């Protein structure tokens, strides 16, 4: 059945940031990308207004050519390459916030997340790329920068270059029912948002703290490029500014420092509460030195280690985890120490 331009524009206006128009046109990869980024931060959704006629023509042309695959190599697209880089970094930052507790995160979790982000953009439209080569390049790059969040940048760069090198047109596929497509998109959406939602709901204070640290580290990458750094600050502050506009808060002339200060104070309130609880768990007064914290931690670990309490394993395990969490809260951050 031929796709209609009017229907496409209606779906774009009603549910564009959620990718409804792409779902209608059979562009499932593009729909998933929009679902995970809210239409590319809204900018991609607005930019598509002029591209919808070509998307509809491409979808109708693809319906008439399902029996044969297109040969040749797609032309190089700087826009697609830049999008691969950005989405790869975005997926890496989300993984850094929600999955960094994994023991093998920098070897498995981080390159996998960045590589999948690059491949998602590579699969937009009638193009795709080689799955094994792109992920292989990401995994081979990750050990070089092991333990440092800055690894997101080179992994995304190498994976994007590899995806561009192995770009090709999609092979012809049998048409699938809408329920099957929605099921696949739902699983992919849950795989992306599930760990992040768990971290935000079950460990809100730590998640907010790590979000602030991650954003600070991310912006520090642009110290040598002040104009680019200022642009990234504008992008990151855009949702906050929109919220202030919706609630009627004036005073947009306060500048970047005041806006970041408000966000910092909001996060700091959670950090202060977490530190107070940590002092209580370790049985220390606020302001204890690092040596006192470390000494008290070693004493409590010896007392409550599960191997030393075989008759009360569950209680010992609970205390042991609380002591470890308290020590982590009062110790200097180690995840971002590479900076």
Q: What is the pLDDT of residues 183-194, one digit of tens each?
A: 989 999 998 888
**92 and 49, same structural domain?**
no
Among residues 204, 225, 247, the one where a domain terminates is 247
Domain end among 61, 94, 111:
61
pLDDT in tens, 5-31: 899 899 999 888 888 989 988 888 999
For residue 150, is it within any domain?
A: yes
Does 112 lie in the same domain as 57?
no
Runs of H (alpha helix) within the chain: 5-15, 20-24, 28-41, 43-47, 52-63, 78-98, 110-122, 131-141, 152-165, 178-202, 204-220, 226-246, 255-282, 290-304, 313-330
Residue 238 reports pLDDT greater than 90: no
Answer yes or no: do 198 and 155 share one domain.
no
283 and 208 in a common domain: no
In a domain, 339, yes or no: no
In a domain, 177, yes or no: no
Give the DSSP H/E element, type plus range, for residue 128.
strand 127-128
Please give the Cα distance from 123 to 107 (Å, whole number): 24
Give exposure, 129-145, as e/b (b: 16+ Cβ within 10 Å). Answer: bbeeebbebbbebbeeb
DSSP-derived pairing of the beta strands 127-128 and 168-169: antiparallel
Q: Is residue 336 part of a domain?
A: no
Least confident of 45-54, 124-133, 166-175: 166-175
Is residue 23 within 8 A of residue 181, CB to CB? The reply is yes
Q: Are 90 and 149 contained in the same domain?
A: yes
Q: What share of the chain in percent tops pLDDT 70?
A: 72
Do 308 and 286 reside in the same domain of the chain? yes
Most confident of 16-20, 136-140, 179-183: 136-140
* 335 occurs within a structural domain: no
Tokens in use for 193?
Answer: 């948002």
Contact present, 98 and 125 (Cβ < 8 Å): no
* Residue 222 domain-assigned (yes or no): yes
Q: Which residues lie across from 127 on neighbouring strands?
A: 169
117 falls within a domain: yes
The pTM of the whole model exceeds 0.85: no
Distance separating alpha carbons of residues 26 and 185, to the nearest angstrom? 12
Are 114 and 45 part of one and the same domain?
A: no
d(CA 225, CA 273): 36
The residue with greater pLDDT, 43 or 220, is 43
State the total domains in the chain: 4
CATH number at 321 reads: 1.10.287.110
* Same-domain pairing of 234 and 291: no
Among the candidates 169, 184, 217, a domain finishes at 169
Residues 86 and 154 in one domain: yes
Structural element, H or E, at residue 127? strand 127-128
pLDDT at 253: 45
The answer to whether the beta carbons of residues 148 and 338 sit under 8 Å apart is yes
CA dist 101 and 7 (Å) reads: 45
DSSP string, 242-293: HHHHHTT---GGGHHHHHHHHHHHHHHHHHHHHHHHHHHHHT--TT--HHHH
CA angle 100–101–103, rounded 5-degree value: 100
Asked if residue 90 and residue 15 are part of one domain, the reply reads no
- Do the Cβ atoms of 284 and 296 come closer than 8 Å? yes
In a domain, 68, yes or no: no
* Residues 314 and 267 both lie in one domain: yes
75-88 mean pLDDT: 91
Nearest to 281 by CA among 327, 222, 214: 327
> Do 284 and 308 lie in a common domain?
yes
Residue 70: which of 151, 172, 147 has the closest Cα? 172
Range of the domain at 42: 1-61
Residue 168 phi, psi dihedral angles, 5° rounding: -160, 165
């Amino acid at each position: 059945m031929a796709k209609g331009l009017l229907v496409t524009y209606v779906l774009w206006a009603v549910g564009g940031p959620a990718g409804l128009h792409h779902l209608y046109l059979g562009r499932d990869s593009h729909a998933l990308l929009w679902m995970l980024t809210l239409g590319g931060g809204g900018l991609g959704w607005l930019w598509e207004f002029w591209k919808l006629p070509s998307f509809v023509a491409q979808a109708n042309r693809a319906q008439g050519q399902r029996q044969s695959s297109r040969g040749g190599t797609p032309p190089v697209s700087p826009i697609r390459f830049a999008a691969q880089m950005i989405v790869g970094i975005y997926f890496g930052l989300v993984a850094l916030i929600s999955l960094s507790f994994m023991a093998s995160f920098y070897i498995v979790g981080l390159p996998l997340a960045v590589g999948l982000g690059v491949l998602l953009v590579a699969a937009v439209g009638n193009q795709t790329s080689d799955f094994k080569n792109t992920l292989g390049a990401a995994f081979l790059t990750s050990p070089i920068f092991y333990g440092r969040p800055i690894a997101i940048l080179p992994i995304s760069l190498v994976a994007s270059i590899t995806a561009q090198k192995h770009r090709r047109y999609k092979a012809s596929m049998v048409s699938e029912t809408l329920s099957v497509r929605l099921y696949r998109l739902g699983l992919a959406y849950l795989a992306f948002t599930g760990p992040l939602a768990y971290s935000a709901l079950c460990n809100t204070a730590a998640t907010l703290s790590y979000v602030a640290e991650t954003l600070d580290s991310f912006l520090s990458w642009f110290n040598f490029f002040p104009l680019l750094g200022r642009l990234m600050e504008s992008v990151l502050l855009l949702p906050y500014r929109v919220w202030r506009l919706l609630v009627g808060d004036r005073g947009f002339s306060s500048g970047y420092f005041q806006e970041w200060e408000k966000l910092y104070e909001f996060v700091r309130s959670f950090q202060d509460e977490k530190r107070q609880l940590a002092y209580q768990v370790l049985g220390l007064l606020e302001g204890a030195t690092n040596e006192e914290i470390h000494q008290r931690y070693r004493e409590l670990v010896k007392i409550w280690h599960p191997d030393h309490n075989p008759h009360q394993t569950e209680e010992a395990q609970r205390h042991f985890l609380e002591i470890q969490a308290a020590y982590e809260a009062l110790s200097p951050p180690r995840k971002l120490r590479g900076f």
